[in-house]
Structures are given as C-alpha cells and as structure tokens.
C-alpha cells in the first residue's frame, strides 16, 4: 500500500511538473487559453502566471512525505476547478484549446479532457482520503536505502522509460503529420478538383477523394460561434444544396480564401448553403468571421467531421445534395473549391422531397464593370478621420485591397514601397483599403492613405475576391480596369497604366 501511494504521488508530480514548466515556457499561450475560457480580461495576465506556479508548487509539495497531503489537497482543488471550467464551456457550446501542457500538447476541450482530469482528480482524492500521516513511503528515505548499484539501475530504467515515452509521443505525432501529408498529396495527384459535369450526374463510382457520390452524408452536431447548436438536418431544412468547407484558422490557403467565402455566402444565398466547418478556439474563428463577414461557421472539436467526410486536408470542400446525399468528391485547395462553387451555382437546384424549390441559376461574378460608376467609399483612415472616394476627385487612383496578415501581401510589400518611392510617369495615386489593426498597418511604412475596412465589404463591392488585389478608378470616378489579383497583376496594373498614358 505504501508503495502504491508513493507511485500515485510520483504520477501527480510528473503531471503537475510538466504542465507547470510548459505553461511557463509559453506564457502568451497561457494568457490566450485563460481568455478563451472566459476569464475576465483584468485577470488574464496574473492568472496566466499564477496557474503554472501553483502547479509547480503542488508538484514540489507532493515529493516529501511530510507535505504530500497538502500537495494532494491543492492538486485536487485545482483539478476540480479545471473540470468545472471545462464543463461550463462545453455546456455553453465552446471548445477552446485546453493548453494543458503548453506547446507540447494542446487540443480543443471535449469529453476526453474531462475524463483525463477526472482520473487525475481521483488519484489526488485517494491521497487526500489517506490523511496527512499516511502518504506512503518517503521518496528521499527510500532512495537513501538503495545501494549504489540499485541507484544506478534505477536511473538507467528511468532514462529508458523517458526515452520510450518521448519516442512514442514523437512517433505518434510524426505518423499523424505524415498521414495528413499523404492525404494532401493523394488529393493533389488525383486532381482534387471539381471537374465540369462531375456533380449530380448519377455516377455510382467513388471519386478520387471523399465519400462515394450518392451515399448518405454523415450527420453532425456542432457549435456555432454564437453558442447555437447546428446539425446537418438544420442546414438541409433550407431545401438547397450544401457546400461544406473545411478550414483551419492557422491554415494560410484557408485565410486567402476567406474573403471569397464571405462573398459567396452573400451572393449565392438564394440557391445554396455554404457552411464552414473549422476547428481551434472559438475566439480565433470569431476573429476570422468578423474580419470577412462570414456566417454559418461551425467548430469541430478536433477533426471528427472532416474525418467522417474524408476531407482532412484544409482547405477542402464537399457538396451535399438537398436530399442529404453526397453530391461531389472531396476537393482540395482554393482553385478546386472555386471550381466546385462555380459548378454548384451554375446548375439547376434540384427539389428536395416535400419542398418547393426553383431552378435558379446565378453567375459566379460579373466579368467586367469597366465604365461603371465606382462604389462609394467612406472609411476611417489610420488617424480615425473619415475619408471618401470623392476626396480624390480629378485624380486617377489605384485602389489596393490589402491585409497585413496576408503572406502574399507581405511578399510584395518591398516592391510596393519601391513603386511609391519611384513611381512611373503619370502613375495613379495609391489608395489602400486594408483590414487589420492600426498598428499593423502603420508598420507597413506606406506613404499612401490607408483606410480600414475590417469586413472586406468594400473589396467585395468592387468585385475583389482576396488580397492583394487592385482596381483603377479614373478621374471621373468610374472603374477603368478589371480587378487585378495577386502581386504581379497589381504591380503590372500600376505600371501598365503609366505606360499607356505616356
């Protein structure tokens, strides 16, 4: 019995010790976790430091037999607080990352998180129930009783055990990452694209990736960003085809696609339901949704829904017919998703049994608006002053749509600065419409006026689908070019206009 109690203490020492050290090594992540769990902002910073220090203190107290009971009691209280906080967030439909072991291990909370903390709380409760005088062998006395040979053997065994555990953890994560890469490579090699005519043609065969066309779509039950619960049946009630988009807040190609997704959800709302299935913390997804005007953003705990649909890589998408069956293969990548959306929105919408539904057809986007009056702009600049497009009357303008967090924007920033320093003859005046914070946009070091539009509404009004993109406005306030997307096209648009004017 004494040996078993000592073992329980050592298990808790290891858990609390690793948790405390890893959290201290990632204080920014600890503060983010506190904020995600709903802690008031004034308490976030102190709690982010106090929690790992408390975990280390309880680990130290559990080592000597004389203080082990107090360490077990403190650990039990802490674990019960964890369980209460996790349970409350799950009840509210939120699944923030637990940040249990800092950057070593962190995942969205769920049933497994509750069970893990419950088991550890049970171990601590056993020690507390034994009383302060019955905490097993004294670790230090037991180690002193060992001979030199036994001590060396114990040290070797502990090192081997640590190496085995670390190797197993590393192998698990490598296999997991390798699996994701293989899925992505397989999808790319087999096309991963929505091919013309592949949708709703009654083909029985299985596509290159995803579930068989015509099979029943797996049901799901996910939390939305407002705390509501959304199921597949709820989405199907609209009687329209559903495009499920699988994304991740940390996925670069996903973030590039977000402005287009926001526009699709608005433009194609009459004939299709476009829903986003993401993962990660609710707060991270809420930032993306707010920035790009997204709706129907659902958060899975890990990858359970993506796994059920065979759509693990991101960004990927799948079509669900109005009758609840699979209507396309799983397509991977922005271009494949654009092709899928284009075909879905240009085909007749099939009726769902019992639902009245038209045969609507909607084009993907206008081909050109050249010669039309430019949409109005009334946005704050970096000093908070309201600026409109009319303030630049009698001047040709290059309206540049920008995002400081966009990798493609970052790569063209030096070229843009050089263009500002040494513009071509008769170059248009640059006007930047950007998302992000004031500080992030000031750090760009651009000479041009920068206006803030967090929802990308202005970009969508001009027909822009992402960043960086740009359009020319002539001196009369009319659109003078198609929307140029991507750094080369934007820079060419600025230089080409100067050359034609000369």
The CATH 3.40.30.10 domain(s) of the chain lie at 221-344, 378-501
Query: pLDDT tens digits for 327-362?
Result: 888 888 887 888 788 778 764 333 333 333 333 333
Please report the pLDDT score of residue 238 as a whole number: 81
Which two structure tokens, joined as six digits, stand for 347? 């085909």
CB 93 within 8 A of CB 231: no
Burial (CB < 10 A; 0-12, 13-18, 19+), residue 305, is: buried
Please report the pLDDT score of residue 403 as a whole number: 85
The residue ranges of the chain whose pLDDT is under 50 are 186-208, 347-368, 496-502
Rounded-to-integer distance, Cα 113 and Cα 17, Å: 18
Please report the pLDDT score of residue 363 as a whole number: 33
Rounded-to-integer distance, Cα 417 and Cα 405, Å: 17
Rounded-to-integer distance, Cα 165 and Cα 346, Å: 54
Which class is domain 378-501? Answer: alpha beta
| Long-range contacts from 66-73, C-beta under 8 angstroms, 24+ separation | 68/9, 68/127, 68/135, 68/136, 69/127, 69/128, 69/130, 69/131, 69/132, 69/135, 70/132, 71/9, 71/12, 72/9, 72/12, 72/124, 72/127, 72/128, 72/135, 73/124, 73/128
Nearest to 327 by CA among 301, 307, 348, 312: 348
- Alpha carbon 472 to chain centroid, angstroms: 33
Burial (CB < 10 A; 0-12, 13-18, 19+), residue 134, is: middle
Report the mean per-residue pLDDT for the chain: 77
Rounded-to-integer distance, Cα 265 and Cα 263, Å: 5
Please report the pLDDT score of residue 499 as a whole number: 36
Please report the pLDDT score of residue 140 as a whole number: 60
Between the alpha carbon of residue 99 and those of residues 86, 170, 384, the distances in Å are: 12, 18, 37
Nearest to 198 by CA among 88, 96, 115, 319: 319
Which two structure tokens, joined as six digits, stand for 100? 């249990």
DSSP states of 105-167 = B--B--HHHHHHHHHHHHHHHHHHHH-TT---S-HHHHHHTS-HHHHHHHHHHHHHHHHHHHH
CB 333 within 8 A of CB 348: no
Query: Is the domain 221-344 a CATH 3.40.30.10 member?
Result: yes
pTM for the full model?
0.38
Q: Given phi > 0 = left and psi -120 to 50 = alpha, else beta, which region is 269?
A: alpha
Please report the pLDDT score of residue 202 as a whole number: 41
Please report the pLDDT score of residue 341 as a whole number: 85
């Amino acid at each position: 019995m004494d040996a078993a109690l000592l073992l329980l203490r050592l298990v808790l020492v290891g858990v609390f010790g690793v948790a405390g050290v890893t959290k201290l090594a990632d204080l920014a992540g600890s503060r983010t976790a506190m904020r995600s769990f709903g802690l008031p902002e004034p308490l976030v910073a102190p709690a982010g430091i106090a929690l790992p220090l408390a975990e280390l203190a309880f680990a130290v107290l559990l080592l000597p037999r004389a203080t082990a009971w107090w360490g077990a009691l403190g650990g039990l209280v802490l674990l019960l607080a964890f369980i209460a906080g996790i349970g409350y967030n799950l009840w509210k439909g939120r699944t923030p990352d637990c940040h249990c072991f800092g950057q070593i291990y962190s995942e969205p909370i769920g049933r497994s998180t509750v069970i893990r903390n419950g088991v550890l709380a049970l171990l601590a409760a056993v020690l507390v129930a034994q009383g302060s005088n019955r905490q097993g062998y004294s670790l230090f006395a037991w180690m002193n009783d060992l001979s030199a040979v036994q001590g060396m053997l114990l040290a070797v065994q502990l090192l081997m055990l640590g190496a085995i555990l670390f190797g197993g953890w590393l192998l698990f994560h490598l296999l997991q990452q390798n699996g994701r890469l293989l899925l992505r490579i397989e999808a790319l090699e087999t096309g991963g694209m929505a091919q013309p005519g592949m949708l709703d043609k009654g083909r029985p065969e299985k596509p290159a990736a995803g579930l068989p066309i015509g099979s029943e779509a797996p049901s799901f039950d996910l939390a939305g960003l407002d705390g509501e619960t959304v199921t597949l049946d709820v989405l199907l009630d609209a009687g329209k085809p559903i495009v499920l988009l699988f994304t991740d807040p940390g996925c670069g190609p996903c973030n590039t696609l977000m402005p287009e997704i926001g526009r699709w959800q608005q433009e194609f709302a009459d004939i299709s339901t476009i829903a986003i299935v993401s993962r990660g913390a609710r707060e991270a997804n809420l930032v993306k949704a707010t920035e790009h005007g997204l709706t129907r953003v659902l958060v899975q705990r890990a990858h359970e829904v993506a796994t059920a649909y065979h759509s693990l890589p991101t960004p990927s998408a799948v079509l669900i017919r109005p009758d609840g069956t699979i209507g396309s293969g799983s397509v991977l990548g922005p271009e494949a998703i654009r092709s899928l959306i284009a075909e879905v929105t240009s085909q007749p919408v099939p009726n769902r049994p019992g639902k009245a539904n038209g045969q609507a057809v909607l084009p993907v986007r206008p081909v050109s608006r050249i010669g039309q009056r430019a949409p109005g702009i009334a946005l704050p600049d970096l000093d908070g002053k309201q600026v409109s497009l009319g303030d630049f009357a009698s001047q040709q303008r290059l309206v540049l749509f920008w995002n400081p967090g966009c990798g493609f924007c970052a790569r063209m920033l030096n070229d843009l600065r050089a263009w500002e320093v040494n513009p071509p003859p008769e170059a248009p005046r640059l006007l930047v419409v950007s998302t992000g914070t004031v500080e992030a946009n000031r750090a760009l070091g651009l000479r041009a006026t920068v206006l803030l539009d967090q929802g990308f509404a202005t970009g969508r009004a001009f027909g822009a689908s992402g960043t960086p993109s740009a359009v020319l406005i002539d001196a009369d306030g009319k659109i003078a070019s198609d929307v140029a997307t991507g750094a080369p096209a934007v820079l060419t648009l600025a230089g080409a206009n100067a050359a034609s004017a000369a």
